[in-house]
């Protein structure tokens, strides 16, 4: 197997260059080591340690080609600092093509884990100790969940200047101000002083090539701003739409769901956003936007129970304090 087996991640001991590593983290029921794939680009000169994680939810794979393309395209002779990238965090979920672990746990609600507890708690705890604590900034790459679509958007605590700067330079389509929630990887990193954002890249269970290059450019721009790469030469893309908050709307009646607007559409309060039909094709309910906003994501699953998600609506609010100065 390509890649060096390691028991700890000793970044100081690694020589300059690109490293493909298998980091031992837990054992399975046969006593075999379960190993995380880790890519490290170690620069020739000292600098920040930038962490990138992907597939914490096992079927959210759009971040994987972003990591591959970014790391393989870095010139470590010119790089200041180190990039540590985990293409697949939720190894078991990834193999099963599902969000949760094989133990039916959502890893992104278990951080920072526990030294002892369920497998997922220990896994997360060791991930924090072995990798995350070493970082100076973190980008956690996700996608929409199964049965939904997303635009390219970032969840970030826009009241933290470094986090806001990182989010803004990445040039997503939308940024949602969202203080870090307990038990997420982003929240656990922020709690130990690591500026962290969650980048939601499109849709689950697939590679969307149009997003790969854009995100590689965005991450390189952040790395330039942090002094890891020479000053960027490409112009920044369109400024993102900044939302002060966001919320999902839900059905109160089961049936066949049709959502009207597409992602990134602006909707007005009272505008029809979805209709639920009964088994005979008669409209049983229609739903309207609770307020003006921008569509961040929506359901594409026609089968909706009572309480199904309809649409994720952002409250557009370009508050000056949320928008960092251009670099
Ligand atoms: Zn996710």
Q: Is the pLDDT of residue 248 over 70?
A: yes
pLDDT tens digits, one per residue of 1-35: 789 999 999 999 999 999 999 999 999 999 999 99
Ligand 1 centre to CA of 297 (Å) is 13
Q: Is the pLDDT of residue 326 over 80?
A: no
* Contact by Cβ (8 Å): 152, 173: yes
Ligand 1 centre to CA of 13 (Å) is 33
Taking domain 248-321, whether its CATH number is 2.40.50.100 is answered by: yes
pLDDT tens digits, one per residue of 288-304: 999 999 999 999 999 99
Ligand 1 centre to CA of 113 (Å) is 17
Helices (H) and strands (E) counted in the chain, each on its own, are: 6, 18
Ligand 1 centre to CA of 55 (Å) is 7
Unique residue bearing structure tokens 């002779």: 77
Q: Specify the pLDDT at position 317.
A: 85
Ligand 1 centre to CA of 243 (Å) is 19
Ligand 1 centre to CA of 302 (Å) is 21
Ligand 1 centre to CA of 44 (Å) is 33
Taking domain 4-225, whether its CATH number is 3.40.630.10 is answered by: yes
Q: Specify the pLDDT at position 235.
A: 79
321 falls in which pLDDT band (50, 70, 90)?
A: low
Q: Is the pLDDT of residue 86 over 90?
A: yes
Ligand 1 centre to CA of 77 (Å) is 34
Q: Specify the pLDDT at position 298.
A: 97
Ligand 1 centre to CA of 15 (Å) is 33
The share of the chain scoring above pLDDT 90, in percent, equals 91
Q: Is the pLDDT of residue 320 over 90?
A: no
Mean pLDDT of the chain: 95
pTM for the structure as a whole: 0.95
Ligand 1 centre to CA of 270 (Å) is 30
pLDDT tens digits, one per residue of 94-126: 999 999 999 899 999 999 999 999 999 999 999
Residue among 238, 246, 258 at smallest CA distance from 296: 246
Ligand 1 centre to CA of 148 (Å) is 12
| Mean pLDDT, range 207-229, rounded to an integer | 95
Structure tokens at 249: 């709307």
* Contact by Cβ (8 Å): 57, 142: yes
Q: Which sequence spans correspond to the domains of the chain?
A: 4-225, 248-321
The share of the chain scoring above pLDDT 70, in percent, equals 97
pLDDT tens digits, one per residue of 154-177: 999 999 999 999 999 999 999 999
* Contact by Cβ (8 Å): 211, 237: no
| Mean pLDDT, range 136-146, rounded to an integer | 95
Q: Is the pLDDT of residue 62 over 90?
A: yes
* Contact by Cβ (8 Å): 241, 151: no
d(CA 255, CA 303): 6
Q: Specify the pLDDT at position 327.
A: 52
325 falls in which pLDDT band (50, 70, 90)?
A: low
d(CA 310, CA 323): 29
Q: Is the pLDDT of residue 45 over 60?
A: yes
Ligand 1 centre to CA of 60 (Å) is 6
d(CA 156, CA 322): 10
d(CA 246, CA 158): 14
Ligand 1 centre to CA of 105 (Å) is 13
Ligand 1 centre to CA of 283 (Å) is 32
Ligand 1 centre to CA of 226 (Å) is 26
DSSP structure class, residue 124: H
d(CA 155, CA 139): 11
d(CA 199, CA 124): 20
Q: Is the pLDDT of residue 323 over 70?
A: no
Ligand 1 centre to CA of 163 (Å) is 19
Name, in order, each residue with C-beta under 8 angstroms of 104's C-beta and a sequence gap of 6 or more.
Answer: none
């Amino acid at each position: 197997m390509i890649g060096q087996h390691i028991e700890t991640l000793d970044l100081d001991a690694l020589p300059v260059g690109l490293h493909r590593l298998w980091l031992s983290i837990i054992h399975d029921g046969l006593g075999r080591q379960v190993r995380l794939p880790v890519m490290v680009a170690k620069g020739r000169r000292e600098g920040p340690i930038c962490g990138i994680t992907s597939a914490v939810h096992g079927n959210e794979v759009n971040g994987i080609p972003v990591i591959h393309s970014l790391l393989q395209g870095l010139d470590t002779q010119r790089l200041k600092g180190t990039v540590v990238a985990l293409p697949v965090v939720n190894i078991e979920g990834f193999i099963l093509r599902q969000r949760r672990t094989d133990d039916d746990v959502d890893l992104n609600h278990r951080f920072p884990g526990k030294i002892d507890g369920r497998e997922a708690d220990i896994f997360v705890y060791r991930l924090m100790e072995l990798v995350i604590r070493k970082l100076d900034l973190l980008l956690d790459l996700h996608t929409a969940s199964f049965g939904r679509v997303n635009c390219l958007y970032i969840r970030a605590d826009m009241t933290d200047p470094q986090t806001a700067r990182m989010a803004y330079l990445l040039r997503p389509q939308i940024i949602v101000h969202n203080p870090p929630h307990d038990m997420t990887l982003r929240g656990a990193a922020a709690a130990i002083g690591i500026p962290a954002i969650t980048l939601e890249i499109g849709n689950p269970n697939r590679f969307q090539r149009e997003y790969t290059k854009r995100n590689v450019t965005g991450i390189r721009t952040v790395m330039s701003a942090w002094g890891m790469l020479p000053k960027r030469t490409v112009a920044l893309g369109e400024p993102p739409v900044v939302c002060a908050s966001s919320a999902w709307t839900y059905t109160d009646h089961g049936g066949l769901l049709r959502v009207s607007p597409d992602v990134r559409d602006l909707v007005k309060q009272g505008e029809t956003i979805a209709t639920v039909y009964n088994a005979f094709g008669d409209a049983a309910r229609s739903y309207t936007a609770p307020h003006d906003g921008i569509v961040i994501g929506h359901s594409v699953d026609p089968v909706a129970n009572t309480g199904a998600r309809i649409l994720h609506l952002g409250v557009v609010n370009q508050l000056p304090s949320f928008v960092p100065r251009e670099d």
